[in-house]
Structure 1
Amino acid sequence: MTLRLKPADLLFIKTIPNDGDGFAAAISESTGAYSHVAIATSETTVIHATPKYGIIEETLADFLSEHAQVECFRMLDIDAPTVLVEAKKHLGKPYNNSFYPDADGFYCSQLVVAAFANQVKLPESVMSFGSKETFISDYWQAYFDKLGLAVPVGKLGSNPEELATYSGLEYIGTLSDAN
């Protein structure tokens, strides 16, 4: 049986160790196994926040060509068209590189929180940019030094791992480009 996506399903990306994506690895090191999340807009399209292009809608095939390990979850008891209207309001906006809550644009999980906000209060918590060993990892310190900003430790935000644990989500399966 092939998994069929429905509008407003959430697609979580698991980081593949040593795949060369330092950004995803740093997110996973700080927050957990998931480093990215997208929203299905149909069976064949997704909307998500990307560092390279900002908020975009693209085909599922293109999304899967960039992301190998995709786990899908469905939000229970929501009005999917309302979620999609909210998400699509942000198409073309920039990626929130700073992760500051009041910055322009959105990072991936911030977009999801905004898209569902009229129906569900998704979890947010104090952001972490460290690991089990360090409060702020060398990767994140260098990243924010390049931006000329302080690391936003202590700011309220979201992350894919935390969203995936939300009690109103139901795991529906995995996707691969073989589907």
Structure 2
Amino acid sequence: MHRLLYIGIFFELAACTPKHPKPLPGDLLFQVGRSSAMNEAIAEATDNNNELTFTHVAIFFEEGGSDSVLEATSPGGVRITPLQEFLDRAERVKGRPGVVVMRLRDTAGLARSVKRAKEYLGLPYDFSYRPDNGRLYCSELVWESYRDTCGRRIFPARPMNFRAANGAMPAFWTELFEKLGEPIPEGVPGTNPNDMAREGILTEVGRYF
């Protein structure tokens, strides 16, 4: 009787414990960012037909046998981050990290994409959100790294929108570009995590929540 009770408790606990997905090198990890002026401005300006609002994306890979991500962040530029640190930064969804793992339907070029992404390590974060300026923001790192065998980017760039749904320009963007002394790149081709997560070349393979 006691043995049956223990078995029952074991299976109940197992059923209640979320399974962590096991990403493959080259998988993309889309993150629901914690509340900040920058994340809120990104969320306001990007289309969201999903249940979640992604404000960041990173590339999973293994470094020295440890799970890590390649990412472009505003404090650190393009860098390697331990996976657990990346998960800890995410907004909590159901009490767990708000991170979704997505994989290219055609996985043949994943290793090549990771190798290319590593070539950008050390580049500064692209606060200007413009292409080809020697700096990268998070989804721009993915956009530059993932290419077909002919070297063509596989993710599309679309005219960027920095305005909120009501047409107003969030104060964060106005103040940022005033400090940079640059015009807001409204309409300049670019990418964002929300649009990227909806691309048909990707399929969801797991969630951390």
The answer, yes or no, to whether TM exceeds 0.5 is: yes
Aligned positions, number: 173
Q: TM-score, normalised by structure 2?
A: 0.78
Tell me if structure 2 keeps the 8 A contact 1:47–1:87. Answer: yes
* Residue of 76, 79, 87 corresponding to 1:53: 76
Deviations 1:94-133 (A, max 9, x none): 1111101132210000000111023552021001111111
Is residue 142 from structure 1 mapped to residue 175 from structure 2 by the alignment?
Answer: yes
Letter in 2 for 1:5: P
Tell me if structure 1 keeps the 8 A contact 2:102–2:203. Answer: yes
Deviations 1:51-105 (A, max 9, x none): 1010001110111121231111011113211011110000111111110113221
SS at match of 2:121: coil
Give 2:45's aligned residue. Answer: 30
Letter in 1 for 2:144: A
Instruction: Measure how far apart 1:138 and its partner are.
Output: 2.1
Deviations 1:16-66 (A, max 9, x none): 5xx3x1101110110131110000013711000011010001110111121
Tell me if structure 2 keeps the 8 A contact 1:123–1:162. Answer: no
Q: Any gaps of 5 or more consecutive residues in structure 1?
A: none
Give 2:125's aligned residue. Answer: 95
Q: Any gaps of 5 or more consecutive residues in structure 2?
A: 1-18, 91-96
Distance (Å, rounded) in 2 between the aligned partners of 1:153 and 1:25? 17
Tell me if structure 2 keeps the 8 A contact 1:54–1:92. Answer: yes
Tell me if structure 1 keeps the 8 A contact 2:20–2:207. Answer: no
Tell me if structure 1 keeps the 8 A contact 2:21–2:101. Answer: no
Give 1:165's aligned residue. Answer: 198
SS at match of 2:30: strand
Identity rate, percent:
31
Distance (Å, rounded) in 1 between the aligned partners of 2:79 and 2:103? 21
* Residue of 84, 87, 99 corresponding to 1:70: 99
RMSD: 1.6
SS at match of 1:44: strand
Distance (Å, rounded) in 2 between the aligned partners of 1:40 and 1:166? 18
Distance (Å, rounded) in 1 between the aligned partners of 2:130 and 2:81? 26
Q: TM-score, normalised by structure 1?
A: 0.90
Distance (Å, rounded) in 2 between the aligned partners of 1:115 and 1:175? 25
Letter in 2 for 1:65: D
Runs of at least 4 residues off by over 4 Å: none
Distance (Å, rounded) in 2 between the aligned partners of 1:175 and 1:6? 15
Distance (Å, rounded) in 1 between the aligned partners of 2:169 and 2:185? 10
Give 1:108's aligned residue. Answer: 138
Instruction: Measure how far apart 1:135 and its partner are.
Output: 4.6
Tell me if structure 2 keeps the 8 A contact 1:15–1:28. Answer: no
Computing the radius of gyration from Cα coordinates, the structure with the larger value is: 2
Give 1:44's aligned residue. Answer: 67
SS at match of 1:63: helix
